[in-house]
Amino acid sequence: MTATSQAADYGPEENASELAKVPTEPSEGVAASETKGEEQAPVAIPEAPAPTASEAPDHGPEGNAAELTKVPTEPAEGVAASETKGEEQAPVAIPEAPAPEATKPAPPSEDVPSAPLLLTVEDVSDSSVTVSWEPPEKLGSQGLQGYVLEFRKEGASEWVPVSARPMMVTQQTVRNLTVGDKFFLRVAAVSLAGAGPPAVLDQPVHIREIIEAPKIRVPRHLRQTYLRQVGEMVNLQIPFQGNPKPQVSWTHNGHAVDSQRVSVRTGDQDTILFIRSAQRSDSGRYELTVRLETLEARAAIHILVIEKPQPPSSIRLVEVWGCNAALEWTPPQDTGNTELLGYTVQKADKKTEQWFTVLEHYHPTTCTISDLIVGNSYSFRVFSENLCGLSDSPAITKELAHIKKADIVAKLKGFVERDFSEAPSFTQPLADHTTTSGYSTQLSCSVRASPKPKIIWMKNNMNIQGDPKYRTFSEQGVYTLEIRKPSPFDSGVYTCKAINVLGEASVDCRLEVKGEGLRRVSP
């Protein structure tokens, strides 16, 4: 058997190394008995020709190296196997075989697409990674069917496809990953002729836990002083953000909160500060700190626990004059842990003992109460007021304010008596009048006189007083004559005469009464 028929199809570098490892053979004609236990002398072996492609087995680059290392050494011809068993062969110097020429890789087929371009990692979270790429320069003669994205974990040898079949997208997301995973990604374009060469990321992707900076979201109603009354419940729920879960702590005026009075419960996304029954000592600055490694966020909340104020310390009646009373009082010693909104002043009459509010939200500590009723006696009281309301009890004056009647002396002044007597005079005379027969009409005039004058009505200088056809009446110096359903016979001159002890006056007018005209007679 020749060296050519025994050689495998290896790469240029592997052939040279393997040929150096070919075992030596004993020379022909040497008896087995002569070689037993003896070392063989080095023999020069002619250079073996390179194996042909037809005779070489089809091994891959890695397979060729592995196979050549397993080629057994053969004893020389004519040497019995029994004689060489258990004996070591003497090393034989073998000349180095020349390396075969490097074969050029076959050009890629034009039927499959080329590798996608610009494979890039777009986003990495704690459970997924998103990559994108650009279409290949050559789509192949069979047309593009999609892309296959594969990943391989570090240390593994198998590439796992992300989807079961090619997807016609240039961006994909690998999901359901675990923090700490480290893997490689590649993508290949696929056509009907097959998959083209893949585009591989230069660096592996490492899934790390994403750190989200802590942040506190204080509700709007807690951004100003949070007011509670003594005995009420305090329940503050403050949302926060941070990943992984940050450390949360509370302080009260710079010190740790009293666990016997304050209960703190912290979840994944919020923290709750709870006080069952608030006391004034719970007032102050509460600071929330959310810390994540070297990052932290702080928020301050001011709580003010208040109660009703005490009444004014003292009150006294300073002075009473006329219908007025002056009061003065001193502010309360305890304002209820908050500022006062003012005072409420009330008064009560001793007779009725009913209290009426005089002043509200009054800030000074002195006041004057007016419009008191003469002859009455009054008590006064003052309440303090803050955000919780009026004090439970007032401060009441010990003395009564007596409003006395003043001694009034009437001083009569001399005056000149005036005489208002006046002779009659007409301020508004009678006016000529025209009326229609059958329709009542009135004649009016006004007279000024003192004493009150006597009025006489006349028609054509004849007195018509007592005639039932006429009716007279007066009101506030205006005198009226009413003619009931006049006829043309009632036309004439009417006169009004006014007479008193100082004289007389008269006015007259002309009245014309027209007929109704001809009535239409039906045939």
Q: What are phi and psi of 359, to 5 degrees?
A: -135, 145
Instruction: Say what the pLDDT of residue 89 is.
Output: 42
> What CA–CA distance (Å, rounded) separates 225 from 222?
7
Instruction: Say what the pLDDT of residue 33 is.
Output: 35
Strand partners for 189: 147
Alpha-carbon torsion, ordered 355, 360, 364, 368, to 10 deg: -50
3-state secondary structure at position 307: coil
Which tokens sit at 107?
């050009």
Strand partners for 320: 325
Instruction: Say what the pLDDT of residue 521 is.
Output: 42
Contact 278, 234 (CB under 8 A): yes
Contact 395, 331 (CB under 8 A): no
Specify the CATH class of 315-402 in words.
mainly beta
Q: Is domain 422-514 annotated with CATH 2.60.40.10? A: yes
- The distance from CA 141 to its chain's CA centroid, rounded to whole angstroms, is 58
Instruction: Say what the pLDDT of residue 68 is.
Output: 31
Element (H, E) at 234: strand 234-243
> What CA–CA distance (Å, rounded) separates 150 from 184?
8
- To which residue do tokens 């939200």 refer? 361
> What CA–CA distance (Å, rounded) separates 239 from 301?
13
| Per-residue pLDDT in tens (0 to 9) along the chain, 523 residues | 333 333 334 333 333 333 333 343 433 433 333 333 333 333 333 343 443 333 433 443 343 333 333 333 344 343 333 333 334 444 444 444 444 443 344 445 667 888 889 888 888 887 888 999 999 888 777 778 889 998 888 888 888 888 888 888 889 888 888 888 888 899 998 888 888 889 998 888 888 777 788 999 999 999 999 999 999 999 999 999 988 889 999 999 999 999 899 999 999 899 999 999 999 999 999 999 999 888 889 999 999 999 999 999 999 999 999 899 999 999 999 999 999 999 999 999 998 899 999 999 999 999 999 999 998 999 999 999 999 999 999 999 999 999 988 766 667 677 777 888 899 999 999 999 999 998 999 999 999 999 999 999 999 999 998 888 999 989 988 999 999 999 999 999 999 999 999 999 999 999 999 986 544 444 4
Element (H, E) at 15: helix 12-20
Domain pair 218-306 / 422-514, same fold: yes
Terminal Cα distance for the chain, rounded: 168
Q: Which residue ranges make up each domain of the chain?
A: 3-84, 117-206, 218-306, 315-402, 422-514
Homologous superfamily (CATH) of 218-306 is: Immunoglobulins (2.60.40.10)
Q: Which fold has domain 117-206?
A: Immunoglobulin-like (2.60.40)
DSSP class of 83? H
Angstrom distances, CA of residue 227 to CA of 160, 304, 310, 348: 62, 5, 19, 35
Residue count (the chain): 523
